[in-house]
Structure 1
Amino acid sequence: MKKLLFPFTARKRQFLLLLFICVCFSGIAQKSELSVEKIMQDPSWIGTFPSDISWGANSKNIYFNYNPEKNASDSLYKISLENRDEIVKVSLQEKRKMLPQWGDFNRKKTKKVYAENGNLVLYDLKAEEATEMLDLDANIEDAEFLQNEDKISFIYNDNAFILNLENGQISQLTHIRKGKEKEEKSPEVSEQDTWLEKENLGLLQVVNERKEKKENSENYRKSVAEEEPFSFYLGENSLRRLQVSPNGKYAAYQLINRAENKSTNVPNYVDESGYTADLPARSKVGEKSDKVDLAIYNAEKDTVFIVDTSILPGINDLPGYTEDYPEKEWEKKERQIIPSGTYFSANGESAVVNLRSADNKDRWIAEIDLKTGKLNVLDRQHDNAWIAGPGVGYTYWGGGTMGWLPDNEHIYFQSEETGYSHLYLLNVESGKKTALTEGKFEVFDPFLSKDKKSWYLTTSEVDAGERHFYKMPVMGGKMEQLTQMTGKNEVYLSPDEKYMSILHSYSNKPEELYIKKTSSNAKPDQLTSGQSEAFSSYNWREPEFIKFKAEDGAMVPARLYLPQENVKNNAAVVFVHGAGYLQNAHKWWSSYFREYMFNNLLTDLGYTVIDIDYRGSAGYGRDWRTGIYRYMGGKDLSDQVDGVKYLIKNHNINPDKVGIYGGSYGGFITLMAMFTEQETFKAGAALRSVTDWAHYNHGYTSNILNEPALDPIAYRRSSPIYFADGLEGDLLIAHGMVDTNVHFQDVVRLAQRLIELGKDDWELAVYPVESHGFIEPSSWTDEYSRILELFNESLLNN
């Protein structure tokens, strides 16, 4: 008889856990060098690994955060090119003298201007000397060299200013003011007072002459006085992304009219005050969007244009999902537009803007006529699902990869036009668009070389599970592969572009720092080796990378962990990664390193484990990304089921011994699996799970499921709470009570639903001090002890 798991239990598992690890199943002892306690302790036990890599401005030193001394937090260290064998901790004095990573270089990279501690600083790289140029009574921000480089633009008190380096003069470019313009009103004069004044002036000649002389004098002063600059009043708007053109003639900025939305509060029952404290959190999907306008200031005309987006092609189109609601009368109206960023050409005479529809189904790239503010559309990308992908961006904070070549004629950007995110050039004069990269792979983080004659970029061309760094001619051509180590190569190019520092990892090896010359033939030298003896003493598995056929014919990538035949128990566990749009079936060290180690433990104990990049995962192009549109829990779940079928057919798995677990999106899939695929999954652990998508956030959910009031079909078929009556197997639900991402309310509502349905075989474990990503080792240990016990009891003890 199946053992029941009772809700809200807080039993200790140590004894049972030890029992299940050491006891014999089928007469064979199944043991592991690992334990849940060992895996889930403070991650520092794994070792110390470099992060936040940067170069010194002179290309002589590599800087990174490191913690070989096991302090409370990382410190800054460096390795010099002259002495690569020595890792040196950076002193506080040296750290204070270091050139910050932000700011703007001149074209020759001999000087850098930046704002530090609110002041304007100019740094001479040759002299290694910093000069404080301005110290004002408020913070200076966004300092940049203008085109002729003898002037610097900066933002101060929400206005753009220009500093002349030759004479030190400061001029104010924009005059943006908060609030509304005050209208000067003449004082009200009664009919009686008007009559008295008129009679008095008619009777007394001297008084009348003095009045006329005063008025003539005021009119003359106004006629010869300098005209005051045009002031733009924000009214109820707030200002964001104020940018100055390189020639100093124009400025662009966004006007944000904040929407009022009802936010939620997450109660913290263990606040240090002893009282229950509310943590402010997000609103729910379906919230009103902020209204965002783009303003262009023309200094020559001393006026501001508000860019008119009503001319965009398709601006009134209805989304495709409306066809599923024929009974509803849909009004065609102008969709709300969000400008994601404005980009000026090098000479400052032209600009393009990246525009997104608020429903995220269209992106337009348009040129702005800086003299009139009118738009000329250069490119439109439409997606019946939603616009996204590497380098494409999806928020008004930025437009992803975009900018100008130095010729002032070509813009560059990334697009999923072919189904994969690639790099494009577009001639703004002729309208000709050219793909610089093409193929069934994706491009990441392209940038121009120092001389602007080449591209540096990362791609997945070698394999979807690898990342390599390339160099390519600026107008396109053969790509030169500069990295060769299998796995992920995260490259940081030295300022002189002669060397690459590489943060490299493999599936069973955490990140280490390497260096090599910027050449395809050069060999990399390893600079760090941070694995602890305790970690490296275990033979961590290299998962087998496989593809299996899904029910619709798609080949699904996965990582497979196979136990030794002498301990194999014919049970399987499916691990489901979180985030939805995330890649985990790859050849580098996973951000899910705890789960990777737990999967090793499960495999030691005889389980076969599979980790699937299901539909909706990153790394495989547009069709894979949008495979979950309007139906989360559709193909993303059937991919898990098909993975189990693959294991049953190819690895002799008992169909009655299959479990599933995952957190966040993985927790959501686990719930859908336990509620709707009862014949496949006998046990599941759903961690920090979304149970009802109508209660999640807007930015993520509305892209995939639209809005609940507009597309209720999508939400009802995608939310586990509607299918809770299907639970038959054993279910563990675990959630942090102060989760400000997926709120604890989600599982509270689901628990009530399960109670009302009379379901018995489920358990809710709550973690009072944890948010979405657990921090405390004790919480991780408790959670995964419960997961292991669940699988041992439900899959092996029946």
Structure 2
Amino acid sequence: MYLLKNIGTLVFAVFFATIAIAQEKKKVTLEDVFKSNTFSSESVYGINWMNDGQFYSSLKRSAAGPSVVKINVATGQQEAVLIDGQKIGVNFSSYSFNADESKALVVSDIERIYRRSSKGVNHVVDLETGEAQLLVKGEKIMYATLSPDNDKVAYVKDNNLFVIELATDKITQITHDGKWNEVINGAADWVYEEEFSMSKAFDWSPDGKKLAFIRFDETDVPEFNMQTWGELYPKDYKFKYPKAGEKNADVSIHVYDFASQKTVKMDAGTETDIYLPRIYWTGSSNTLAFLRMNRLQNQLDLFYANTATGESNLVLQEKSDTYVDLDYNDNLFFLKDNKGFIRTSEQDGFKHIYHHDNSGKLIRQVTSGDWEVTNMVGVDEKGKKIYFISTEASPLERNLYVINMDGKGKKLLTPAKGTHAVNMSKDFKYYIGYHSDANTPSKVTLNQASGKEIQVLEDNQELRDRLRSFALSKKEFFQFEAVEGTSLNAYMIKPADFDESKKYPVLMYVYGGPGSQNVTNSWGGTRDFWHHHLAAEGYIVVCVDNRGTGARGRDFKHSTYANLGKIEVEDQIAGAKYLGTLPFVDKGRIGIWGWSYGGYMSSLSLMIGNDVFKSAIAVAPVTTWRYYDTIYTERYLQTPQLNAAGYDDNSPITHVNKLKGNLLLIHGTGDDNVHFQNAVDLVDALVKADKQFDSFYYPNRNHGISGGNTSWHLYNMMTDFIKNKL
């Protein structure tokens, strides 16, 4: 009896201790997420591998100022301070070395323009003497780049291309016709920057004696006008923005020769309504390679051009019944001694690596299978190996592999589940690895090329310890069958005190655009922890990657072609209906929210799925694709002139009469990407349809709707809406 009595006492003691421990766990609050940055993670920034593979440099920040330090790979110890911001009197935020690492270029006072463009004050630092040379008398310039011969720096200012000689400070103006909203030399226009992921549009030849650049004539491109608020009389900000079906900039490629002081135009054909999104030096200063795409982006051509004459010849061509995705053809590596080039393409249905000879003839397809190469890390010509990141393990995972150039000997180097990214040394002996999974913050390590870990550079241990004090549930991945038996990937975040006997409201989170992916086994950011806050308030948060999203092959991604919105919304509705069958879900309280393409999806889902969704939040949504830019929109929908139905049939504006639930529409008036015009026209249509809704605008905020107190205000408002309307 005594033994049994004490066992019972022990059981009750353990039970109440467990409850006490659970009660000690803190709920995730909005203040934690947006005020105190409780869940912000650390990383290792500004790492550049040095020519001697035994060292890498890293940007460090301290109260005294920034510095660039040299790290010994073998010991993991700092060997030297290469640039001391305090000593040179420059509070720089980025740096780059020239080819032989005798000089560095540091940039300070950076002023952001659009998503990828910026200008700043530039200094060239002599790494031997430590002296810093101020460029252009401290004027803010764009994309300053050291020449391979160490003598010069090229840059863009006032839409023109310039070169400064370091020894004399002599400035040579390469172009003279640059003018705001008319001609740009050496820098991308708005739509190339946003949709072709480029900002700098010039490149030095390997010997530093020539400069290739792209010229944009946007004179006839229609202007978009954004008013900026805050003064007695609001100001107009006008910039060139080609909306779907409208005139694009006329683009051309040129090469300036310093010896002859002449500029030669490269022959890109007689058709002018084209895109020229990439230029590459092939290894020779006499040959420039470039890509050309037609307006509908269903044909991609690779050309070689003679830089002395401008004559060009077609090397490779790829066509598609839908579109050729530049992102899937953007890994182009030219081998030495005219041994051809390595590239990626999804021409066989999945993005893979291909080896071509110098004439463009296919030597072999290096990788194959029902999985995708998401990034070609590097080509080790000496070792005849290619390093790449792929989804072979799972569409939700990213792992590093190595394969011989003959397509044999493929080996997995990062077996740990989750998402891996790498920064590889120039001699392919080492790499910096970044690894996380959905429930574990990023870990940064120094590794041998074999994958063996040498040193932990950042493990986010403080954050890991901090997380233990919070009541957090793990992100759970699952699949379900949607329309026509298609299996879709999804994740779920439940309340930490989840009780399967209860019924919970659900908030679905969506982006859903072509080639995107939200459902990955990787560490999330601020938005994820807002979802954890909602879970702490008693909501289940779910995310579904609909058809059209990435990492599952060309057919899955291209299934939305010419009809954006239709099957994506069908899949989100199917997801909500599936959730409604679960015993712990209150099917009468399912909401959906999204940002940008996700805002388009959430508003359209609420209208078309009015019997499924109770509420929706649409942040900065596209409400008609007629208002979005040429490159992105026409890639997936063709032009409005060719496919009017594709633009109108699935516009939220078309479906306002179907609105039954609660809609919160949010937009920034200074959004240069998805214009505030989208929200205005949707509001007008809703008013005409006599539909009640909530809306909020943020003055002068861009597409990210951030800065100062903005994020706190935004997510506070969205949280209140969810509590009141869901």
> What's the TM-score, normalizing by structure 2?
0.77
- Per-residue CA deviations over 1:259-299 (Å, capped at 9, x if unaligned) read 33332333333x2x455344445633333111122346789
What is the RMSD computed on CA atoms of the aligned residues? 4.5
Label 1:36 to 1:746 Cα distance change in 2 as closer, same or farther (>3 A): farther
- 2:290 is the counterpart of 1:353: yes
SS at match of 1:407: helix
In structure 1, C-alpha distance between the alignment counterparts of 2:725 and 2:183, rounded to whole Å:
58
The match for 2:228 is: 268
Answer yes or no: is 1:509 the counterpart of 2:440: yes
Q: Distance in 1 between matches of 2:103 and 2:66?
A: 28
The equivalent residue for 1:38 is: 31
Looking at structure 2, the residues matched to 160 and 644 of structure 1 have their Cα atoms a distance apart, in angstroms, of: 56
Q: Distance in 1 between matches of 2:697 and 2:513?
A: 21
- The reply to whether residue 407 of structure 1 matches residue 365 of structure 2 is no
Q: 1:202 is matched with which residue? A: none
- Give the distance between the partners of 1:276 and 1:674, measured in 2 at CA: 35
User: What is the match of residue 233 of structure 1?
Assistant: none
Judge which range, 696-705 or 419-428, deviates more.
696-705
Cα displacement (A) at 1:426: 0.9
The amino acid of 1:411's aligned partner reads: F
SS at match of 2:291: strand
Q: Say yes or no: does 1:385 pair with 2:315.
A: no
Please tell me whether the aligned partners of residues 492 and 500 of structure 1 are also in contact (alpha carbons under 8 angstroms): yes
Change (3 A) 1:463 1:364: same
Question: Is structure 2 residue 32 aligned with structure 1 residue 102?
Answer: no
Whether the 8 Å contact between 2:594 and 2:619 is mirrored in structure 1 is yes
Q: How does 1:277-426 map to 2 (within 5 A)?
A: 277-280=235-238, 283=241, 284-295=243-254, 306-310=265-269, 334=271, 336-348=273-285, 350-369=287-306, 373-388=310-325, 390-392=327-329, 400-426=330-356
- Work out whether residues 692 and 746 of structure 1, in 8 Å CA contact, stay in contact via their aligned partners in 2: yes
Q: Are the aligned partners of 2:163 and 2:173 in contact in 1 as well (CA < 8 Å)?
A: no
Quickly say closer, same or farther: Cα 1:169–1:611, change in 2 above 3 A.
Answer: closer
Matched residue of 1:635: which SS?
Answer: helix
- Aligned mates of 2:466, 2:303 — CA distance in 1: 57
Q: Which residue of 2 aligns with 1:479?
A: 410
1:424 deviation in Å? 1.7
Unpaired runs of 5+ in structure 2? 1-22, 108-120, 187-200
Partner of 1:54: 47
Equivalence for 1:705 = 637
Correspondence list, 1:275-674, <5 A: 275-280=233-238, 283=241, 284-295=243-254, 306-310=265-269, 334=271, 336-348=273-285, 350-369=287-306, 373-388=310-325, 390-392=327-329, 400-429=330-359, 431-439=361-369, 440-449=371-380, 451=382, 453-494=384-425, 497-522=428-453, 525=456, 527-529=458-460, 531-532=462-463, 535-563=467-495, 564-565=498-499, 568-577=502-511, 581-590=515-524, 593-651=525-583, 653-674=585-606
Q: Is the 8 A contact 1:114 1:142 kept in 2?
A: no
SS in 2 for 1:670: helix
| Deviation of the 1:588 alpha carbon | 0.8
Tell me if the contact between 2:600 and 2:618 (Cα under 8 Å) persists in the aligned partners. Answer: yes
Taking a change above 3 Å as real, the CA distance of residues 307 and 281 of structure 1, as seen in their structure-2 partners, is closer
Q: Distance in 2 between matches of 1:573 and 1:244?
A: 50
Change beyond 3 A, Cα 1:136–1:583: closer
Structure 1 alignment gaps of length 5 or more: 1-29, 181-235, 312-333, 393-399
Deviations 1:226-249 (A, max 9, x none): xxxxxxxxxx96543555654688
**SS at the partner of 1:620?**
coil
Cα offset for 1:689?
Answer: 1.7
Aligned to 1:229: none
1:743 to 654, 661, 675: 675
Asked if the contact 2:446/2:453 (under 8 Å) is kept, the reply is no
**Contact 1:41-1:777 at 8 Å conserved across structures:** no
Q: Deviations over 1:188-223 (max 9, x none)?
A: xxxxxxxxxxxxxxxxxxxxxxxxxxxxxxxxxxxx
Distance 1:661 1:131, change over 3 A: closer
CA distance in 2, matches of 1:610, 1:741: 27
CA separation of 1:528 and 1:261: change in aligned 2, threshold 3 A? same
1:85 Cα offset (Å): 9.5
CA contact (8 A) 2:125 2:133 kept: yes
Larger relative contact order (C-alpha < 8 A, sep ≥ 6)? Answer: 1
Letter in 2 for 1:377: L
1-side partners of 2:589 and 2:79: how far apart?
A: 50
- Structure 2 CA distance for partners of 1:522 and 1:335, relative to 1, 3 Å: same
Q: Is the 8 A contact 1:415 1:422 kept in 2?
A: yes
Change (3 A) 1:639 1:66: farther
Report the alpha carbon displacement of residue 669 of structure 1 after superposing the two structures with TM. Answer: 0.8
Give per-residue Cα distances to partners, 1:80-138, cap 9 Å, x unaligned. 768769999996347879998534425xxxx55666689997968xxx56799999999
Query: Which residue number corresponds to residue 63 of structure 1?
Result: 58
Note closer, same or farther for the CA distance 1:64–1:718 as it changes in structure 2 (3 Å cut).
Answer: farther
| Native 8 Å contact 2:48 2:57 kept in 1 | yes
Structure 1 residue 524, shift from structure 2 partner: 5.7
Q: Which amino acid aligns with 2:99?
A: F
1:209-288 to 2 correspondence within 5 Å? 239-240=185-186, 241=201, 243=203, 245-246=205-206, 252-269=212-229, 271=230, 273=231, 275-280=233-238, 283=241, 284-288=243-247
2-structure distance, mates of 1:778, 1:176: 44
Secondary structure of 2:522's counterpart equals coil
Deviates further, 746-755 or 567-576:
567-576
The 8 Å contact of residues 556 and 612 in structure 1, kept in 2 or not, is answered as: yes
Letter in 2 for 1:34: K
Residue 586 of structure 1 deviates from its aligned partner by: 0.4
Q: Distance in 1 between matches of 2:80 and 2:717?
A: 43
**Which deviates the most, 347-356 or 624-633?**
347-356
Between stretches 447-456 and 294-303, larger displacement belongs to 294-303
For each residue in 1:650-697, what CA deviation from the matched residue of structure 2 results, as whole angstroms up to 9, or x when unmatched?
A: 555343232111122111111101111112212212222222222223
Higher strand share: 2
| Equivalent-residue separation in structure 2 for 1:119 and 1:64 (angstroms) | 17
Gap change, CA 1:260 and 1:538, over 3 Å in 2:
same
CA deviations on 1:676-720 (whole Å, 9 max, x unpaired) are 111221221222222222222333223222333443211111311
Report the more deviating stretch, 281-290 or 30-39: 30-39
Contact kept in structure 1, 2:356 and 2:362, CA below 8 Å: yes
CA distance in 1 between counterparts of 2:68 and 2:323 reads 41
Q: 2: CA distance between counterparts of 1:378 and 1:95?
A: 48
Taking structure 1 as reference, are residues 777 and 112 closer, same or farther at Cα in structure 2, changes over 3 Å only? Answer: closer
Give 1:610 deviation, angstroms.
1.6
SS in 1 for 2:686: helix
**Which amino acid counterpart does residue 418 of structure 2 have in structure 1?**
G
655 and 46 in structure 1: CA distance in 2 versus 1, 3 angstrom threshold: closer
TM-score (norm 1): 0.71
Q: Kindly state the Cα deviation for residue 627 of structure 1 after the two structures are TM-superposed.
A: 2.8
Amino acid at match of 2:337: D
- In structure 1, which of residues 711, 718, 733 is the aligned counterpart of residue 665 of structure 2? 733
